Structure 1
Amino acid sequence: MLPEEPRVVVGVDDTPASRWALIWAVGAARLRSMALVAVHVSRAPVHPFPEALPYTHAVRQLEEARSVELIQTLFDDMAGGAPPDISTLAIARLGEPGPLLVELARPTDLLVVGRGRRGALDRLLFPSTRRYCTSHARCPLVIVPTPPGSDTMTGFGFASRPAWIRWLSPRHPAE
């Protein structure tokens, strides 16, 4: 049995860090001719006996539909739609983002997550996806930082060259 082709798996949500991670993942997938898997994980509503609630299945379906719509919106905002030159797949799940991303990423894949700025309350209430992936990933992991001053980023096309690329590039004597 042949191993499956490696993929770029990127965790996305509606934060600037996630948008930068998606941009980086699309570029990596293009550069390496790999498929791109965009994953959005919604935290499941917490209830001590979820199987006892008659609406749990409906909530799950609604949340997964919202997640797929969010992924499509991110692709539309960032690239004018899913990039036609690479194979893309959108996956929506309910649960904890870190464990599900680690579970979905195979050893031959490249896992990409964003590193944003979180407040003290957010850090207290929700575990860090980045830290979980750092500790448990079985594949190479790329953590994409949010460039300074990009908190209000709403998107740009992949054809444009944002200033942060120059910031990450080696300095040339002419600059």
Structure 2
Amino acid sequence: MSLRSFLGSRAGKNFYNICYCWGACLVILGAVLTIMHATHANLFLMIGLCTEVFIFFISGFDEPSREYKWERVYPILNDKNANTDPHVARYNVKTVAGGSANYQKALEQLNRNVETLNELYINKLNELYEAQIKQLKNGGSQMDVQESTRKLADEIAALNEKYRKMLDTMN
């Protein structure tokens, strides 16, 4: 296990936290004992400082935290003239009003797309189902029915893939 993966694990974070806290405690204790001119004060101070040096050294191998682009989630963060006082207004009126119209258009387009896919899905299923019924009435063989069932399954899989792609784009 590498140092980076260890520091990223729960045990590594616990170890790092314990070393950091104990090192800080020993530095403070050593400083207090040095001020008081106590015996072994320099030893405590040196142990604490060496622990802190070790902690700062291994912190260089720790993976930095991710920086999130919050302005993509909250576009108001990009607006320099936005009212950010929570007591005055909860939202910037211009941003909400403009965003509302765009949101409504996107929602209507999404609804149209879902309705179109649903109609396509139902029509394909009905066509294949009617073809199977027709084959059975005309004395079609078991192989013909199996082939048409396989086609039906392929069509359903293709339509499910379209639904999956649409859901992936929405997320």
TM-score range, shorter chain: under 0.3
**Higher strand proportion (structure 1 or 2):** 1
* Larger proportion of helix: 2
- What is the TM-score with the length of structure 1 in the denominator? 0.21
